[in-house]
Amino acid sequence: MMRYHKVPEETIKRMPQYLRALLFLRQQSTKYITSRGLSEYVLLNPPQIRKDLSYFGAFGLRGTGYEVEPLIKQIRRILKLDVEQKTVLVGAGRLGSAIARFPGFQRYGFNITDIYDNAGKRIGKKIGKIQIKDVAKLNKIKANSVKIAIIATPPETAQQIADALVKAGVTSILNLTSAYLAVPKKVRVRTVDLAMELGMLPYYT
Amino acid sequence: MMRYHKVPEETIKRMPQYLRALLFLRQQSTKYITSRGLSEYVLLNPPQIRKDLSYFGAFGLRGTGYEVEPLIKQIRRILKLDVEQKTVLVGAGRLGSAIARFPGFQRYGFNITDIYDNAGKRIGKKIGKIQIKDVAKLNKIKANSVKIAIIATPPETAQQIADALVKAGVTSILNLTSAYLAVPKKVRVRTVDLAMELGMLPYYT
């Protein structure tokens, strides 16, 4: 894996976009795709795409392009999505419950193994096969070596949850709240604020 | 509003990020914020921020910065988030139901007024005060002049829903599925694929 060391962070950031496009193409029974074909999905120009993919030793054949299935495998391996990724979910309200059952995550190898909430009425209940635990017991996850967490709590509690998750050894957080999370540098936070995403649409109506 | 005509699209795209940061700051009772202060939230450098905001006639005072509340109002007005934005939701499954009740949308002025689904067991039921309608009646929304839609269906049906929405006069779509949507140029699509967002985190664990 030596040769991956020099891959720019920007390229890594774009990898999930490629994977998303390739999974879609596979579903449509597409076997090969050129960099030009891919450019319609990832909104990058073909030279950029070729450069990105070349970092990982993937070279498309002129005219034929890249073979979809091996490229999916390759990107999955690079992104560590080829192994099961245990994921903890905090917040079992409406959004959290939907997230817990979201079929899309499994497609990427994510497996939500623990769900926490602070509401007495939810603790002990099950979502699918997983029993909701008291958020006060978040420190227990270290033993399970879960590194990835999703926060789907109200924004007011997101920071304290993030603090507890970091303390418990989590290094990657998907933040679905409107809060900004302060975390140590070694911890990655990816924020998706659905209201903000919707926020730019009316301008063009 | 003449002077807004020359605002670059990239600046408009960043406006919701500014708004999100300002709403968070207001919640924390912050009254003024400098471009440097804002840069910690929007991940842009202070000169870029000053330039973006100057397009809208907002100039921070040296040392004091921008006044949070008026800037929120200003950005809301520019993004047309100061008036109620009727929004239609298609897909009343788990994710859709969570979306329908998501408090974050109201903060931005979005009001989900219509919900559609194709499952007989859901049609006629209510989410909050809104009765779920048959997706076959999507053509009815034109009369209500709803321009914004959220698609939270399975990916397999997303394209046909998008086609129906466009036919019904919708010009802006928030796509929450893993599908790529082909729409006429005049229609804006914003896609949020939660699994993809999570997809880049394991690389760094």
**Domain A2-78 CATH assignment equals 1.20.120.80:** no
State whether residue A175 sits within 8 Å of chain B by CB: no
Task: Dump pLDDT digits (tens) for B91-136.
Answer: 999 999 999 998 888 888 899 999 999 999 999 999 999 999 999 9
Mean pLDDT of A172-188: 95
DSSP B140: G
The whole-angstrom separation of Cα A47 and Cα A52 is: 9
Give the global pTM. Answer: 0.90
More confidently predicted of B55 and A182: A182
Please state, rounded to an integer, the average pLDDT across all residues of chain A. Answer: 90
Residues of B in Cβ contact (< 8 Å) with A39: none
CA–CA min distance A14, chain B (Å): 9
The band of A104, judged by pLDDT with boundaries at 50, 70 and 90, is confident
The answer to whether A66 and A18 are in contact (CB under 8 A) is: no
Residues 56-75 of chain A with CB under 8 A from chain B are none
Residue A159 to residue A152: CA distance in whole angstroms: 12
Which pLDDT does position A143 carry in this prediction?
Answer: 66
pLDDT value of position B154:
93
Cα A58 from Cα A8, distance rounded (Å):
16
Give the pLDDT score at A5: 57
pLDDT tier at A105, thresholds 50, 70, 90: confident
Nearest by CB to residue B202, choosing from A80, A94, A179, is A80
Say whether residue B97 is in contact with chain A using an 8 A CB cutoff.
yes
d(CA A179, CA A155): 5
Residue in chain B closest to A181 (alpha carbons) equals B41
Helix axis angle, A46-54 to A9-27, nearest 10°: 100
What percentage of chain A reaches a pLDDT higher than 70?
97
Residues of B in contact with A21 (CB under 8 A): 180
Which residues sit opposite B61 in a β-bridge? B65
pLDDT value, residue A1: 44
pLDDT band, residue A4 (cuts 50/70/90): low
- Residue among A81, A153, A83, A84 at smallest CA distance from A112: A84
Instruction: Give contacts of B99 with chain A, Cβ < 8 Å.
Output: 194
Q: Give yes or no for A8 touching B (CB within 8 A).
A: no
Token pair recorded at residue A144: 């399970």
Q: B17 CB contacts (<8 Å, ≥6 apart)?
A: A196, B41, B42
Q: Is the pLDDT of residue B1 over 50?
A: no
Q: Is B42 on the interface with A (CB under 8 A)?
A: no
Any idea where the domains of chain B sit in the sequence? 2-78, 85-197
| B134, β-bridge pairs | B117
The whole-angstrom separation of Cα A164 and Cα A158 is: 10
- How far, CA to CA in Å, does B189 sit from each of A37, A71, A200, B151? 19, 27, 10, 10
Same fold for the domain at A2-78 and the one at A85-197? no
Residues in chain B with CB shorter than 8 Å from the CB of A199 are: 15-16, 19-20, 79, 81, 108
Enumerate the residues of chain A whose CB falls inside 8 A of the CB of residue B203.
Answer: 12, 15, 78-80
Region of A69 on the Ramachandran plot (φ > 0 left; ψ -120 to 50 alpha; else beta): alpha
The structure tokens listed for B132 are 């779920």
Contacts with B193 from chain A: Cβ below 8 Å: 20, 104
Per the CB < 8 Å rule, is A23 touching B178? Answer: yes
In the DSSP assignment, the letter for residue A193 is -
- Residue whose entry in the numeric block shows the structure tokens 């082909």: B182
Q: What is the mean pLDDT of residues A62-73?
A: 91
| pLDDT given at position B5 | 56
Residue B36: pLDDT band with limits 50, 70, 90: very high
C-alpha distance from B112 to closest chain A C-alpha (Å) = 12
- For A85-197, the fitting CATH number among 3.40.50.300, 3.30.160.250, 3.40.50.720, 2.60.120.10 is 3.40.50.720
**Given this model, what pLDDT does residue B2 score?**
43
Q: Cβ A199–B148 below 8 Å, yes or no?
A: no
Looking at residue A109, its pLDDT comes to 87
Over residues A131-143, the mean pLDDT reads: 87
Q: Which of A41, A101, A108 sits opposite B180 (nearest CB)?
A: A41
